[in-house]
Amino acid sequence: MILSMTGFGKGIAVTPTLKITVEIKSLNSKQLDVSMRVPGMFREADLQVRRLIAKDLERGKVDVIVQAEDTAGTAPMCINTSVLRAYKEQLEALASDLQIAWPADWYATLLRLPDALKPQTTAAEQEQVDAMLKASADAIEALREFRRREGTKLEAFFSEKLAAIAELLTQVEPFEQERVKRIRERLEDNLSRLEGIDYDRGRLEQELIFYIEKLDVTEEKTRLRAHLSYFAETLALPTPGQGKKLGFIAQEMGREINTLGSKSNNAEMQQIVVRMKDELEQIKEQVLNVL
């Protein structure tokens, strides 16, 4: 079983005075990277949420947004002085540019503008903190379920690509035998055209064997099949967290395919190798999303 690092989860908790919504989104990353946007009243609980994420999500670029909506209409408000100051400066500049009068009543004008008032930041009560942590836990579990569903899709994708590479590997064998025969015939034909030169037939056979052995791809095919099997076995492990290992196996598969191509010395074999590389590149791209 594998898990994707991509996911989204949402959790909602309600108290007598607040509706708390937690949204968590994750993307692929080499390590755990958490970014949080939390209302001031929950700042002290920030570390607790991070601990929940580190325990359950392990890896990925994680964005957390916590919103608290006052449902009782009892949240104390205060004047947003910095925003009003900026509004006043802009209105004064506008009056100067357009040669119009300043407002007759600054208070009435400014307090009607957006964000003129803001909730007064106070420390959350324990009941509210507990609700926020529950919403966070629910969002994390929803994200994990999303990751499981995406992991199932990735597993099917990888199985399809592994089967494609294995099938292409079987297509190499006919061209491999034909290639050896062609190389031998070409060398012997070239030697037969050399007039007045005598050569040791036995030594020629030894050199031909040595040359053909250098082009033999039996070991590469055997190792590639072993890597394909190991990749499939790693996919099937019951405990998630195989992403890095699958990346290493894919690198080893690439080495064998590259060596196979360099030894092919045959146009048809090289075309097959190119197709194998294409399938492997698709695997490598998606392995980056595996936890």
Segment 143-158, tens digit of pLDDT: 999 999 999 999 999 9
CATH 3.30.230 residue ranges of the chain are 7-75+122-148
Task: Copy the structure tokens of residue 259.
Answer: 């060596």
Q: Report the distance separating Cα 145 and Cα 133, nearest Å.
A: 18
- Tell me what percent of the residues of the chain surpass a pLDDT of 70: 84
- Rounded average pLDDT over 215-228: 88
Q: CA 33 to CA 59: how far, in whole Å? A: 8
Which tens digits make up the pLDDT trace of 47-72?
A: 999 999 999 888 899 999 999 887 76
117-119 vs 77-79, strand pairing mode: antiparallel
pLDDT given at position 16: 85
Q: In the predicted model, what is the mean pLDDT of residues 219-230?
A: 93
Could you tell me where the DSSP H helices lie in the chain? 46-57, 81-98, 106-111, 126-192, 201-214, 218-235, 243-264, 267-287
* pLDDT above 70: residue 97: yes
Write out pLDDT tens, residues 99-139.
888 888 887 888 878 877 666 555 567 888 899 999 999 99
CA-closest candidate to residue 166, choices 215, 216, 222: 222
In angstroms, the CA 38 to CA 43 distance is 7
Chain centroid, CA 94 distance in Å: 49
CA–CA gap between residue 36 and residue 24 (Å, rounded): 9
pLDDT confidence of residue 179: 67
For residue 37, the one-letter residue type is R
- Residues 167-181: tens digit of each pLDDT: 999 988 877 767 666
According to the model, what pLDDT value does residue 122 have? 54
Contacts of 240 by beta carbon, 8 Å cutoff, 6+ apart: 1, 2, 3, 151, 291
What is the DSSP secondary-structure string of 83-125?
Answer: HHHHHHHHHHHHHHHHT-PPPS-HHHHHHTSTTSEEEPP-PPP
**Helix H or strand E segment including 7:** strand 7-14
For the chain, the average pLDDT equals 85
pTM: 0.72
Q: In this predicted structure, what is the pLDDT of residue 200?
A: 64
Q: What is the pLDDT of residue 211?
A: 64
Whether 280 contacts 158, CB under 8 Å: no
Residue with tokens 């009056």: 95
Is a pLDDT exceeding 70 seen at residue 164? yes
CA atoms within a 13 Å half-sphere pointing along the CA-CB vector of 190:
7
* For the ranges 94-103, 197-206, 211-220, the one whose mean pLDDT is highest: 94-103
**pLDDT, tens digit (0-9, with 9 covering 90-100), for 232-288:** 999 999 888 889 999 999 999 999 999 888 887 778 888 999 999 999 999 999 999
State the average pLDDT over residues 27-35. Answer: 91
DSSP letter at 74?
A: -
Residues 73-88: tens digit of each pLDDT: 655 667 778 888 888 8
CB atoms within 10 A of CB 2: 24
Domain 7-75+122-148 sits in CATH 3.30.230: yes
C-alpha–C-alpha distance, residues 192 and 206, integer Å: 17
Residue 257 has a pLDDT of 93
pLDDT score recorded for residue 72:
65
Residue type at 28 in one-letter notation = N
Q: Which residue has the higher pLDDT, 171 or 193?
A: 171
Phi, psi of 94 (to 5 degrees): -65, -45
Q: Using the predicted structure, report yes or no on whether residue 220 has a pLDDT greater than 80.
A: yes
